[in-house]
Amino acid sequence: MSCRRASLAIAIAIATRSGAGAARLDAQQATAYLPLRFDEQWTGRERRDVTDALKDIPLGPGGVLRLNVGGQLRARREGFRNFLAGIDASRGTTDDGVTLLRALLHADLTAGRVARAFVEARHATASANGLPAFRRPFDRDALDLQNAFLELRTPWEGATRLAVRAGRQELSLGSERIISTLDWANARRGWDGVTARAARGDLQLTAFRVRPVSIGAATGNATMDFDLLQGAFLTIGAAGEARRYEAHAIRYEQVIAPGAPARSAAHTFWHVGSRVVQPLPLRAILEVEGALQRGRIDGSYPHRAWFVASELTAPLPALPWSQRLTAGFDIASGDTLAGDGVRGTYRQLFPAVHTYHGYGDLLGRGNLIDARLVWRASPSRAVELRAAAHHFLRAQATDGVFGINAEVLVPRGVLGRQRHLGDELDLTAAWRVGRHLRVDGGIAWFRPGAAPRAAGVTRDVAWAFSSVAVTF
């Protein structure tokens, strides 16, 4: 069975780790490879192995031109039992698995401090599976461009630094609850447009006008002309510091919704919010983030929605393995009355839902309450263990249930007045084997709550994965 094979791979990886010597990483090694590869800095780094010969290569007379080459290969196996059946009884037979393969290769050419060109190619494949509901749009993508942009920067070394980037690019902001590249996906998100960044000391301002890129495994990727995202994101706080303040104002426009016959289906609204990360006594850290949405949905209906997310993390110094405990509570608005003419369901933009609302990838943020407890431990600098328990409810019993892509999983009225959607337990492990190799594995178990059970849903959902990634 697919779940058992994935679980076995996890067990083998962890057992191998127990018998091997600890993979010690110094600070430079641990931070050399970043989620957004164009953020990496290789100038002046010590060369540690043969792959570093691909970094900071001088070209031409005087070495004004410098070239960095890198990439990643990742393989992941996922197995499912009763996929989505824990929410909707009509899903039918939902046991299967899928093997995901992804290759990324990039070249970064810089001309002194003034200009750079960054190009990254991507190829993502997925084995066939028998779950129509599980054919995710981000699983497959034939050879195409993940990034392809030109960047101009101010040449001086003054206190204020400016950079303008145009072309296809990845975009992740802050905690990634609002906009994320979504590295978990086999084919990461991309954007076509322009971004500008200004930095001065601990202050950084990012402005952008971008359109998302649609994934076309057979026809190639293309700009989604019906979607437009423009706004600004302000960050106050030095890199590596616990204290951090953020604010954003984003305008989202969908001129013609996919499949809509006329312009009357347009959505236009503002997403305005902030985030605070504040250190507390006893080395605890409090994080609070929230946002308001105001505008119009479906052409003419007023849209008034909101969300609030909070986490309190504290170390457990009396216990070994650098253990930490996080208590989190998130709530996003739902629609209260069907006939009042106002749309109140929070409409998530392009977040990393997987990171916050369960590794089972069942529920999106709209009309959701998620109360969770997360335990983390690091037996060594190379290994992290994680356990998370989620308690899911509908914020409004009068509204429906929404998936990770904001799609309607269960329409309003089907689940009656019950609000409890279910509970999920996630167990994951990550092992960084030296600089280049990372092994991950985990399982998730979702048990339907009173609301799905009242509609005849009685089957638990099980999911397991194992993955190996090589980065250079």
By the 8 A CB rule, do 247 and 276 touch? no
Rounded Cα distance between 373 and 398, Å, is 27
Q: Locate 379 and state its tokens.
A: 């037996």
* CA–centroid distance for 334 within its chain: 23
Which tens digit of pLDDT belongs to each residue from 423-465? 999 999 999 998 999 999 999 999 999 988 887 777 889 999 9
- Can you give the pLDDT at residue 32? 77
Q: Are 459 and 423 in contact (CB under 8 A)?
A: no
Other CB atoms within 10 A of residue 92 CB: 11
The whole-number pLDDT of residue 373 equals: 98
Residues in the chain with pLDDT values less than 70: 1-31, 84-94, 128-135, 217-219, 239-240, 256-265
Determine which helix (DSSP H) or strand (DSSP E) holds 17, and give its type and residue range: helix 2-19
Distances (CA, A) of 153 to 65, 114, 116, 468: 15, 5, 8, 36
Cβ–Cβ under 8 Å, residues 213 and 168:
yes
Phi–psi pair at 116, nearest 5 degrees = -155, 155
Contact 289, 175 (CB under 8 A): yes
Neighbours of 191 (CB within 10 A): 26
Q: How far apart are CA 333 and CA 139, in angstroms?
A: 30
pLDDT at position 259: 55
Phi-psi map region of 463: left, alpha, beta (phi>0 left; psi -120 to 50 alpha):
beta
Number of other residues whose CB lies within 10 A of the CB of residue 299: 14
Q: What is residue 254's three-state secondary structure?
A: strand
Residue pair 152/115 in contact (Cβ under 8 Å)? The answer is: yes
Position 154, amino acid: T
Phi-psi region of 167 (alpha: psi -120 to 50; beta: other; left: phi over 0): left
The mean predicted confidence, pLDDT, of the chain is 86
Q: What are phi and psi of 313, to 5 degrees?
A: -115, 135
Can you give the three-state secondary structure of 383-403, one letter per residue? Answer: EEEEEEEEEEEECCCCCCEEC
Identify the pLDDT of residue 240. Answer: 66
Residue 278 structure tokens: 């504040």
Q: Of 176, 158, 236, nearest to 202 (Cα)?
A: 236
**Per-residue model confidence as pLDDT tens digits over 164-176:** 999 999 999 999 9
